[in-house]
């Protein structure tokens, strides 16, 4: 199995230390704060481990404090309700005796009903786009030497942006707040749908916050941006595989008050809408660093 995706699967394999209490770790190469998608995925794993014969259909989460990658994260699950059709769980992530994150998850038994969906945008297939490895190597020459190693290291999720216009990485041109990205785990994942949901939750925090920056021409590498995920909601509509190509169609309807609001629709290659995402993130702009 590809090493980076194996590392993610290992991160999602939480240790059960007591009834309703699980422990997760972070990659050793994280040095500032825990990646938000990691906490989303691990919290969903914790909730799923307390449910039988039902599948998650929605989650709503808040990022409260930055996670410390140097110490484990404890996930406490509150079994809020077990109904005939729906099951509700509340997950709290704790470090240093304080909440860093909380999430509500709803599960449902399999059920048939009315169906409709929006159409998938018409975009080039992933095979017609440059691989992420090639793209990052090409763009890395624009970055300072100390950032190139991180930028070009292998990733557990491959991202192939459709609107890759070779813009300046450090000083991107302003453009409308829309983007489409093909995403796929870089190795095969065991077949359980619940695990694919957890991997997609992990991946859903990638690129989404970028969308609200597109109209403003601000780069993550500029040193001017203070950013963080504030909340994250996700709805699962149909079964899918996270190790097959999925189209992540994203837009940002609004930015105000130092926050950017972003939405995402995730489609299979054959056009089935399998998940929807919404997120608000902090986007504070600092003064230009003095040279």
Counting beta carbons within 10 angstroms of the beta carbon of residue 277, is it exposed (0 to 12), middle (13 to 18) or buried (19 or more)? Answer: buried
CA distances from 142 to 29, 63, 134 (A): 23, 32, 14
| Residue 229 bears catalytic tag | yes
- Measured CA to CA, the distance from residue 4 to residue 185 in angstroms comes to 9
Residue in 38, 204, 229, 276 annotated catalytic: 229
Q: Which residue has the tokens 């660093």?
A: 289
Side-chain half-sphere exposure of 32, counting CA atoms within 13 A: 5
| Residue 99 bears catalytic tag | no
Reading the block at residue 235, the tokens are: 């709805």
| Residue 279 bears catalytic tag | yes
Residue in 42, 204, 227, 279 annotated catalytic: 279
Residue in 26, 205, 250, 252 annotated catalytic: 205
Q: How many CB atoms lie within 10 A of CB 167?
A: 16
3-class secondary structure, 26: coil
Q: Which residue has the tokens 């290659």?
A: 269
Side-chain half-sphere exposure of 104, counting CA atoms within 13 A: 7
Q: Which residues are catalytic?
A: 205, 229, 279
């Amino acid at each position: 199995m590809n090493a980076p995706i194996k590392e993610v699967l290992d991160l999602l394999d939480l240790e059960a230390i007591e009834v309703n209490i699980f422990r997760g770790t972070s990659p050793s190469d994280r040095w500032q704060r825990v990646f938000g998608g990691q906490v989303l995925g691990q919290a969903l794993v914790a909730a799923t481990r307390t449910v039988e014969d039902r599948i998650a259909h929605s989650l709503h989460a808040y990022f409260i404090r930055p996670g410390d990658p140097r110490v484990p994260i404890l996930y406490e699950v509150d079994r809020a309700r077990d109904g005939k059709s729906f099951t509700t769980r509340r997950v709290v992530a704790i470090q240093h005796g304080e909440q860093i994150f909380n999430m509500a998850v709803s599960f449902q038994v399999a059920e048939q009903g009315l169906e409709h969906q929006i159409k998938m945008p018409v975009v080039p297939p992933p095979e017609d786009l440059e691989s992420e490895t090639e793209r990052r190597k090409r763009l890395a020459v624009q970055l300072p030497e100390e950032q190139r190693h991180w930028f070009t290291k292998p990733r557990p999720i491959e991202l192939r942006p459709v609107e890759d216009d070779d813009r300046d990485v450090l000083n991107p041109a302003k453009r409308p707040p829309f983007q489409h990205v093909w995403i796929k785990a870089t190795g095969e994942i065991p077949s359980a749908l619940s695990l694919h949901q957890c991997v997609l939750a992990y991946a859903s925090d990638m690129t989404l916050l970028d969308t609200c920056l597109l109209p403003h021409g601000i780069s993550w590498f500029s040193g001017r941006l203070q950013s963080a995920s504030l909340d994250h909601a996700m709805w699962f509509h149909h079964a899918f595989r996270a190790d097959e190509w999925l189209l992540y169609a994203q837009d940002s309807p609004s930015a105000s008050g130092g926050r950017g609001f972003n939405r995402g629709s995730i489609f299979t290659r054959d056009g089935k809408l399998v998940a929807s995402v919404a997120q608000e993130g902090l986007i504070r702009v600092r003064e230009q660093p003095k040279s």
